[in-house]
Copies of this chain bind each other. A is one copy, B any other.
Amino acid sequence: MAKQSKKDSLIEFKEKLKELAHLKSAFSVLHWDKEVYMPAQGNKPRAETLAYLSGELHQKFLSSKFKKLLEASKDRMAKGELTPEESAIVREVRREFERESKMPLEFVKELTRVTAEAHWVWAEARKKSDFRIFLPYLKKIVELKRKEAEFAGFKNSPYDALLDVYEPCATAEEISVILEELKQFLVPFLKKIQTSSRQINPQILKGNFSIEKQKEFGKLVLEKMGFSFEAGRLDTSTHPFTIAHHPYDVRITSRYDKNNLFYSLSSTIHEAGHALYEQGLLAENFGTPLGESVSLGVHESQSRVWENIVAKNKPFWRYFYPILQQKFKEPFQKISIDDFYPALNSVQPGFIRTEADEITYNLHIILRFEIEKALIEGTIAVENLPLIWNEKVKELLGLEAPNDAMGVLQDVHWSGGGIGYFPTYTLGNLYSAQFYETAKRDVLNLEDEIAAGEFGHFRNWLRKKIHIHGKFYRASDLVYNITGEKLNSRYFIEYLKKKYGEIYEL
């Protein structure tokens, strides 16, 4: 009856955001359940329920009611009536709203339909190792993603518009510069490692490891890292992932190999890094962009800093290696930490990205980034991908790709329309090294603490500097605020140089 006051419209706006958040939580629980515990026959009805929920989300987000509330909040922001936090919320919701409202419903439906089908076609093509099976779908997907970029709008490259979904406000140009620097270092550095006289045999780490004991060891590491089991779980699934229904309910999964315990341990620690970010968001910001991670690249920095910079280096193993030796006497009792450490970090170019070491991993990403950027910019044709892929594998990794399955067909991303996602993996590595250098300055005796199994100060540093801010800052501002510099490849290059220079006696 009474005319609504301006304050009320902001409250109502936040309430609507919270409703959307509840729908998203419901969606994420159903998705988690599907991947982890759902019985096989539940697949079809569950897909329908998930489709219904995402339709509801889309409709409610783009409803005229929500639009009005967003407009009213924008007006108040323009008048300077909002707090900085409120302004950040409005800014970020508006970003997402504008992008989504530019996408015609028919287009969204077609993209959903094509990528759903493409997933199975890609799986079939990979099984048969035949790119031609996937080709018509990938062509269609590239075409649709170029359309998406047109709808979203961009200044320089259409690739910017796709990247923006994963790494808000980053541009193809910036990333090209950073990755080119990294490539200039990595390619000759890899050659040096390969021609080093130091021979390392990673096979000594293989064994016969009880899955139960692997899980126990994984849980011990998670507890030490500060992952809260009161606000989270660890389960098993085919592909490891982290999913947050709320900062108080963050779940990770891992998978296990009887012969290689580092297969699961690396994944578990990687996912726990993501999970600490999600548990570190402020519960009171749940449902608003302040309760969301700033970008995929920064998210990835949290998994990589734990998986690699912490857990593939000496201080970590000074604490954990005796425990590992105790738990898995065979083979570790007879391996000294001085033999264990290089074996854990041996460098070996291979065809498969997900099995790559810290050095070659980034060459896999650079390859994909260069290809997908060129695809979207229209400077290469989809038909030529296998050839281009194989040339780049040769150039970057010095290998001859044996077939499509181990080459251009190995990753699921493109089949799902996830073009623009790959570079965030390497951005994560760059961010992680840059953050870690700052943490070493800020946290007294950081590596001594790690070597004593104490991770509290480091975790709190990450939480205070990164997690609690959600999307309050842009990623580029956040990294500048924390480290005093823009994101660059220098810290990561220095880290690799020092570490692998020692290991390979370069």
| A residues neighboring B (CB under 8 Å) | 19, 22-23, 25-26, 29-30, 33, 37-42, 44-46, 48-49, 52-53, 228-233, 245-246, 248-249, 283, 286
A37 to B, closest residue via Cβ: B233
Dominant secondary structure at the A interface: helix
Say whether A246 contacts B42, CB under 8 Å: yes
| Nearest Cβ on chain B to A444's Cβ, whole angstroms | 31
Say whether B33 contacts A45, CB under 8 Å: no
Q: A19-B52, A45-B248 are in contact. List 9 more A-B contacts (CB 8 A).
A: A22-B53, A26-B30, A29-B30, A39-B229, A39-B230, A39-B231, A39-B232, A41-B249, A42-B246
Inside 8 A of A230's CB, which chain B residues have their CB?
39-41
Say whether B45 contacts A245, CB under 8 Å: yes
Pairs A–B under 8 Å by Cβ, sample size 7: A22-B53, A37-B37, A38-B249, A42-B245, A45-B248, A46-B246, A49-B245
Inside 8 A of A45's CB, which chain B residues have their CB?
25, 245-246, 248-249, 283, 286
Say whether B33 contacts A49, CB under 8 Å: no
Inside 8 A of A249's CB, which chain B residues have their CB?
38-39, 41-42, 45-46
Q: How many copies does the complex hold?
A: 2
From the candidates B23, B49, B246, name the one contacting A25 in the complex (CB within 8 A). B49
Inside 8 A of A286's CB, which chain B residues have their CB?
45
Q: When chains A and B are docked, how far (Å) is the Cα of A231 from the Cα of B39?
A: 5
Say whether B26 contacts A231, CB under 8 Å: no
Say whether B233 contacts A39, CB under 8 Å: yes
| Nearest Cβ on chain B to A292's Cβ, whole angstroms | 15
**7 closest pairs, A vs B, by CB?**
A42-B249, A41-B248, A22-B52, A45-B246, A41-B231, A22-B49, A26-B26
Q: When chains A and B are docked, how far (Å) is the Cα of A50 from the Cα of B408?
A: 44
Inside 8 A of A46's CB, which chain B residues have their CB?
245-246, 249
Inside 8 A of A229's CB, which chain B residues have their CB?
39
Say whether A231 contacts B42, CB under 8 Å: yes
| Nearest Cβ on chain B to A127's Cβ, whole angstroms | 23
Inside 8 A of A30's CB, which chain B residues have their CB?
26, 29-30
Inside 8 A of A44's CB, which chain B residues have their CB?
248
A23 to B, closest residue via Cβ: B52
Q: When chains A and B are docked, how far (Å) is the Cα of A129 from the Cα of B248?
A: 34
Q: When chains A and B are docked, how far (Å) is the Cα of A44 from the Cα of B284?
A: 12
| Nearest Cβ on chain B to A495's Cβ, whole angstroms | 35
